[in-house]
Chain A
Amino acid sequence: MDRHINVPMNQETAISLHAGDYVYISGTIYTARDAAHKRMYEALERGEKLPLDMEDNVIYYMGPSPARTGRPIGSAGPTTASRMDKYAPSLMDLGLKGMIGKGKRNQAVKDAVVRNKAVYFAAVGGAGALLSKSIIASEVIAYDDLGTEAIRRLEVKDFPVIVVMDSEGNDLYETAVAEYRVDC
């Protein structure tokens, strides 16, 4: 089912999304990948404040290529989400509602998605040029020294993603693959 949603998103929106839905996201999202997650995790351990509020927000696991002059961003596709599995449950417990990435997640992430009524979306891996066209603006808001791994605030318009894990615990990677598996 095709859906258009605005982000940040509330619980009601998150619950209404189901594994397999094709979703166009518009609004504000934030990028963070390995190094930014490690820093945020360490900040939480020290009892410090995070550079962005997690409540109802969506994090895109992405580190772009440099923007050419006159463009908001370079190539901007998803990175492998499982490298963020160690950190994602704590962020969801703080209110993070959505993650955009690619690839499988572990059980702790699945549990946190269900527990917090959150959503894990996949963007098409390796389609960074195409996905960059849905990003209208990009601004580094934290950890500038991390270069491509800095935290960016992105304004997106009809950014295309697919719901992989929903708040009921469904996992499209398991169900869709089983549907098309044939004995040979």
Chain B
Amino acid sequence: MRTVHVSEITENIKEMCIEANHFLTEDMKCALTTGAKEEKAPLGRQILEQLQENLNIAGEDMIPICQDTGMAVIFMEIGQEVHFEGGILEEAINEGVRKGYTEGFLRKSVVNDPIVRENTKDNTPAVIHYEMVPGDKVKITVAPKGFGSENMSRVFMLKPADGIEGVKNAILTAVKDAGPNACPPMVVGVGIGGTFEKCALMAKKALTRPVNVRSDIPYVCEMEKELLHKINCSGIGPGGLGGSTTALAVNINTYPTHIAGLPVAINICCHVNRHAVRVI
């Protein structure tokens, strides 16, 4: 048994909220650089170059990459040999978000109730997903999610008879409908299988996989490549203003499912696909 004080969780999450909103991971930066080189449309190239310049300004001047600094989505992979002390874990996580968004000059975009809609003024609560894993470590992923692209995400409860073609069509439909609203070039996170909520969670988690890493399941890997190619043939392009760089990656996760179902979730992320990862 290893003991972790919850104040350590708070401090790390605070720093990770600020880090994720000012710096993209190397894989995302590389994908944007490649996109700018290969983009066919002149305006599309100009936009991709502006996005790179935007990243430089964000890091150097500590201005958030995007003003929508998101709702804080946090994945907690907790080793089953870890014991937390010093307070309630969930409160410690939210305290980290509160401090990060307040001290880091990040936008407070969370309302207390979906209908009443009063801003909580500190961006809490976070959306927290807990997973118990072997070992005595805690892996924290902070993934602030903006809602321009979140609003364009979809869940399809397909029939088994729809098969792989049905899945591909669902993904292409979601991307086409998202178009300029989702701030392309996008990253497309997909969950296939499980249940209604499991596929949505897989789609969200797929967005945290580096964009240059493909699935290790051969047919899924092929589908990721084929769909990326097809999405980039759509013409949507950077900013939705036409071009050949509509998506940077399609990341698909799968899970066993029921004999009667084929759930598919598509979680679309803009080019500001943010996440910070730490292991404590």
Contact = CB atoms under 8 A, between A and B. Distances in A.
A77 B68 CA distance: 8
B233 interface: yes
A162 interface: yes
Interface string A124-136: 1111111011000
Nearest to A175: B242
A22 B50 CA distance: 14
Contact of A65 (B40, B44, B54, B106): B106
B50 A127 contact: yes
Interface stretch (A41-49, A66-74, A91-99, A108-116): A66-74
A65 to B, nearest CB: 4
Q: Is the interface of B mostly helix, strand, loop or mixed?
A: loop
A122 B241 contact: yes
A182 B62 CA distance: 40
B229 interface: yes
B43 A126 contact: no
B107 A74 contact: yes
A79 interface: yes
A120 B53 CA distance: 25
B206 interface: no
Contact of A184 (B148, B183, B229): B229
A181 B232 CA distance: 8
B63 interface: yes
A67 B107 CA distance: 10
Contacts of A160: 50
Contact of A80 (B117, B181, B239): B181
A64 interface: yes
A66 B233 contact: no
A18 interface: no
Which of A74, A102, A130, A133 has most chain B Cβ within 10 Å? A130
Contacts of A178: 235
B257 interface: no
Contacts of A20: 43
Interface string B136-167: 00000000001010010000000000000000
A74 B63 contact: yes
B180 A102 contact: yes
A13 interface: no
B43 A75 contact: no
Given A104-B180, A126-B270, A176-B43, A77 B107 contact: no
B140 to A, nearest CB: 23
Given A102-B180, A127-B50, A67 B105 contact: yes
A156 interface: no
B50 A102 contact: no
B2 interface: no
Contacts of A128: 54, 63-68
Nearest to A133: B57
Given A177-B240, A177-B241, A177-B242, 5 more contacts: A63-B67, A102-B240, A124-B50, A127-B50, A128-B64
12 contacts: A65-B105, A66-B107, A68-B105, A79-B148, A102-B240, A122-B239, A132-B63, A173-B240, A176-B237, A177-B241, A183-B233, A184-B233
